[in-house]
Chain A
Amino acid sequence: GENVEQHPSTLSVQEGDSAVIKCTYSDSASNYFPWYKQELGKRPQLIIDIRSNVGEKKDQRIAVTLNKTAKHFSLHITETQPEDSAVYFCAAPARGSGSARQLTFGSGTQLTVLP
């Protein structure tokens, strides 16, 4: 199947600093790019998404940028707080082992915000 690659796998920042997580995808037909946050012991939950007709989307302290030409998209968190500590997953539609396209998740980034 096609891949969604995510970097870094771990990220530590001081409270108040910014955090950036990057993902690349291989399927040029992909046009929907969500980001999920998973707190320890909890379910993954959608925090923001972007579609290919825009290059950037913001929601308070989080923003996502998309570069379709380069096939990468990034999550930006500003003014980080301890409650931002979690595992973050990017995702993009991709073809799996069969012919159906499905949302494929990156490998996750463990973000730790240090007080």
Chain B
Amino acid sequence: DTAVSQTPKYLVTQMGNDKSIKCEQNLGHDTMYWYKQDSKKFLKIMFSYNNKELIINETVPNRFSPKSPDKAHLNLHINSLELGDSAVYFCASSQSADEGNTIYFGEGSWLTVV
């Protein structure tokens, strides 16, 4: 009955590789997000999709490409991984893109680039 689920939970990979993280929500929400949390615990939004349409695209390298096949799924593909990409990536969702909605986070994907 997990509300926002993402896979994999842990990922260790070498520099230069390409990897994907998948996310699914079963809450019937319209809006999904990707957040990055670095070693200092800062939570930064990367992307937001509303009904499969990209609505927020923060200053993120082009190596990061989100894809939303439907409003229940938002995947994140990362090309040419760099050491600085090591972080926890949280998928999240909310009822709508209105700013007063609760954001529900997935359990996080721990990415380590070596």
Contact = CB atoms under 8 A, between A and B. Distances in A.
Interface string B53-88: 001111100000000000000000000000000000
B99 A101 contact: yes
A43 B43 contact: no
B42 A108 contact: yes
A39 to B, nearest CB: 12
Contact of B55 (A87, A100, A103, A110): A100
B85 to A, nearest CB: 19
Interface string A98-109: 101111110110
A96 B35 CA distance: 14
A105 B43 contact: yes
A97 B41 contact: no
Given A42-B107, A43-B108, A102 B56 contact: yes
Contacts of B102: 34, 46, 49
Interface in A80-115: 87, 89, 93, 96-98, 100-105, 107-108, 110
Contacts of A100: 48, 55-56
Nearest to B110: A41
Given A96-B58, A100-B56, A102-B48, A43 B106 contact: yes
Interface of B: 40-45, 48, 55-59, 90, 99-100, 102-103, 105-108
Interface of A: 30-32, 34, 38, 42-46, 49, 51, 87, 89, 93, 96-98, 100-105, 107-108, 110
21 contacts: A31-B100, A34-B102, A34-B103, A43-B105, A43-B106, A43-B108, A44-B43, A44-B90, A44-B105, A46-B102, A51-B100, A89-B43, A93-B99, A96-B58, A97-B59, A98-B56, A100-B55, A102-B48, A103-B99, A105-B42, A108-B42
